[in-house]
Structure formats: structure tokens, C-alpha cells
Amino acid sequence: MKIMPARLFLALAGLIWLASAARPARAEDVAADYQIAGQALQQLVSSPLGRTLPAFSWKVDILQTWYANAYSNGRGRISITRGLAYLLGDHPGVWAAAIAHELGHVASAYVAGQPAFEAELRRAYLAAGGNPSDPDTEWALKVAPAARSVFNLGGERRTEYEADRLGLLLMAEAGFHPDFAIALDRRLRSTTGDQSKYSEFFLNHPLWANREQQTVRAEGIALTIFNHRWPDPDRSPGGAAPPLGRIVSVTMSQEPGTALVMRVSVEVQNAARRQVRVAAILFDHYEKVRTSAPEYRSPDGTLELNSTLPALDHGPAEATLRIPSSVVDLRGRSLKAELFLVADDWTLDLWFQPLKPAPTG
């Protein structure tokens, strides 16, 4: 996974602030992370589809590095870094998505088990009333061998797509809504950033945007299996589908008495009965901007902006964030805003916005 360190640093700093502002800061509780990871892993490998995988002594290790990454040794040991663990938070479904992707790598590499894996997939899909003539059925239910050459970048990208798809199907049968995989993709994309689509040829991992497209393509098959096995999502191991959303655009203007007005266009889904808001903090290089104004001051003294959106489950909306001139003077400064789209305790998207200094004179 290719990381942009500066962006990741700012994103993690912002997420830590967001957790602190919303509730007591999420402690670095490695034991709790191990518990969530272990439960998700056990649920995945004990499902009918998971039981077609090799009978390893499965285990998750959490590595003490802040780079966001995960990988499998192919013999039952899955490693997740502390940086990725923080991004996964305390939501079992998102942990399951990360772990299922690594299990997908095992399924594509374990040639001897592929006939049983494919047979169980087909059985589960047909038992759920799936349409065998769906054009995507054969593609979705077939396991392709893993690419093994380090010089075959296109093959390695296909292997990543394969792990995404097989992991999605493992999740669905085990009781984790497929939207958790999309939530994970979006969280990683917004935090670590994406490369230009023209550079994908030189990457051994696909672009996050392209990975989400492939996930959406397979989601109909996965949902058919999930809905049949777990007709009440609230009672499934992962619970109801997670809220999803993205920041579409940010436009800036000035009004009397303001240093800047940001109008933030967003799209959300699965957000029923959740409080959706847009929050922002400001950075001066790598330092968070502070304020003494009580109405804009978070518990740690950081300047914070918030705009709560009307109740909605699905669709577009717009939030307005105003920075008063009396609170922040932008003249002669070059600041950056980190914006968050949030639904309850779910961070749906991040956006980094340079703030143009207010005109002088």
C-alpha cells in the first residue's frame, strides 16, 4: 500500500482530534483491538465458505508502526499495523473487511481448495435465489489463480482485485454487510490519498477509486447471499449496513464579518437515524490552529467548526461553515482546512482544502 506520509500525518491528527471532540479519546487499547480482530477473524473462517480455506491456526497480529497496511504470510498469520488499526476504529464490520481481504489472498493462492470454495459460493448463491444467468455470476463466483511474479505489476493488481472480491463474498456469508468493504475503501482513500489514474500502470496496488468500482460490481452477488443468510441485518454479526458518504466539492466565498465561508456539498446513504454533520479544523503547516473564542473552541483549545445537516438517509445535501474574521485572520497566512463528513461516530470522508488569504486593502 503506497502511503503519502504528510497526508497520513494530517489525517491521523485530525481523526484523533475528531474522536476527542466527540467523546473521550479512543485509547490505544491494543487488547481491545485484538479482541475485535479475533472475533471478526473467527466469524469469517468458521462460516461455510471460510471452512473451505486451509485449516491453519489463524491469528491476527497488530504491528507497532503508524503506516497503514495489512498483509498475510499465507500460513494463517494476518498482520495489521497500528496505523491501520486506528483507521478501522472500533467497528467490527470494518475490521472484518480488512481481514477478509487478506483471506481472499489466501483463497486465490490455495489452489487445492479452490474447487470447494467455488462450489460453496455457487451453492450459497443459488440457495439464496440468485440468478445463474446474471452476466456477472460466472466472474463473481470463480477464483482466479494469484499472480506470483514481482515483475508482473498488472497481475499483482488483478490479484488485489481478486482478494477484494473474494473477501467481499466471505464477509457476506459470515454476516458482515458488503457495504463495510466500501466503507473501508473510502476511509483508506480519503486518508492516504490516491494517485493519478495514469500512474496505475506503475503501481502494484490498484487505485482506491478503481477498487471501489470492482467492489460495487460484485456487491449484488454478495448482497444476495447476505440477505438470504441474514434477513435481519441488525441481528447479523456486523450489524446494519454502515453509513456511507463523500464530500463532493467545497466552494469558498466571503460575507461581511467573515474571513471565509465554505459551502460543502456532500452525498450520504445508510444514514437513517444518525446525526450527520460536517466538521473542520485548521492547520498552519503541521500545527492545529487554536482559539480562545469559546463558541469555536474544542476541549483541547483547537479551533473547530461544525454544521449539522437535516435528517436524511440517502441523497445530496449542503453544509455551510463560516470562519469569522474576529476568530481567524487569514491575511498574510496560508492555512489548510481538514474537513470531516461524520455520521454519529462514523467518519465517512476527509477533505483537505487550502484556504486562500483574505484580500487586503
Intra-chain end-to-end CA distance of the chain, in Å: 47
pLDDT for the residue numbered 303: 94
Q: How confident is the model at residue 356 (pLDDT cuts 50, 70, 90)?
A: confident
pLDDT for 24 beyond 60: no
Domain of residue 274, residue span: 244-355
- Assigned C-alpha cell, 218: 460484485
* Count of positions (residues) in the chain: 361
> Which residue did the predictor score with more confidence, 128 or 153?
128
pLDDT for 212 beyond 90: no
* Helical ranges in 153-305 per DSSP H: 153-174, 179-192, 208-229
For residue 132, which phi and psi values (nearest 5 degrees)?
A: -65, -15
Is 350 contained in some domain? Answer: yes
Q: How confident is the model at residue 149 (pLDDT cuts 50, 70, 90)?
A: very low
Last residue of a domain, one of 179, 211, 235: 235
Q: Are 210 and 272 in the same domain?
A: no
Q: Are 71 and 195 in the same domain?
A: yes
Last residue of a domain, one of 206, 235, 264: 235
Is 191 contained in some domain? Answer: yes
- Residues of the chain with pLDDT > 90: what percent? 61
pTM of the shown model: 0.86
- The C-alpha atoms of residue 250 and residue 344 are separated, in whole angstroms, by 22
Amino acid at site 274: R
Closest CA to 274 of 238, 236, 243, 233: 243
> Which residue did the predictor score with more confidence, 245 or 187?
245
Is 360 contained in some domain? Answer: no
Is 330 contained in some domain? Answer: yes
Stretch 83-98: mean pLDDT = 92
Q: Average pLDDT over the chain, rounded to whole?
A: 86
Q: How confident is the model at residue 270 (pLDDT cuts 50, 70, 90)?
A: very high
pLDDT for 6 beyond 90: no
Q: Are 324 and 225 in the same domain?
A: no
Q: Are 86 and 229 in the same domain?
A: yes
Report the chain's C-alpha Rg in angstroms: 22
pLDDT for 203 beyond 80: no
Stretch 282-299: mean pLDDT = 91
Looking up residue 348, the CATH number of its domain turns out to be 2.60.40.10
Q: Are 24 and 167 in the same domain?
A: yes
Q: Are 223 and 291 in the same domain?
A: no
Is 361 contained in some domain? Answer: no
pLDDT for the residue numbered 136: 86
- Residues of the chain with pLDDT > 70: what percent? 83
Q: Domain count of the chain? A: 2
pLDDT for the residue numbered 65: 86
Q: For residue range 27-78, what is the model confidence (pLDDT) as tens digits? A: 567 899 999 999 999 999 999 999 999 999 999 999 998 888 898 998 999 9
74: alpha, beta or left, given left = phi > 0 and alpha = psi -120 to 50? left
Q: How confident is the model at residue 247 (pLDDT cuts 50, 70, 90)?
A: very high
pLDDT for 113 beyond 60: yes
Q: Are 300 and 191 in the same domain?
A: no
Q: How confident is the model at residue 8 (pLDDT cuts 50, 70, 90)?
A: low
Q: Are 228 and 248 in the same domain?
A: no
Q: Are 144 and 79 in the same domain?
A: yes
* 3-class secondary-structure state, position 175: coil
Last residue of a domain, one of 192, 207, 235: 235
Is 200 contained in some domain? Answer: yes
- Assigned C-alpha cell, 90: 472500533
Q: Are 23 and 172 in the same domain?
A: yes
Is 138 contained in some domain? Answer: yes
Q: For residue range 172-185, what is the model confidence (pLDDT) as tens digits? A: 999 999 999 999 98
Q: Are 217 and 253 in the same domain?
A: no
Find all residues with CB under 8 Å of 177, minimum gap 6, and list them: 93, 171, 226, 233, 236, 238, 239, 240, 241, 242
* Helical ranges in 110-207 per DSSP H: 114-127, 137-140, 153-174, 179-192
Q: For residue range 324-353, what is the model confidence (pLDDT) as tens digits? A: 999 988 877 889 999 999 999 899 999 999
Q: Are 226 and 317 in the same domain?
A: no
| Angle at the Cα of 279 from the Cα atoms of 296 and 181, rounded to 5 degrees | 155
Dihedral angle computed from the Cα positions of residues 222, 213, 354 and 83, in that order, rounded to the nearest 10 degrees: 50
Stretch 182-191: mean pLDDT = 85
Burial 333-360 (b: 16+ CB within 10 A, else e): eebbbbbbbbbeebbbbbbbbebeebee
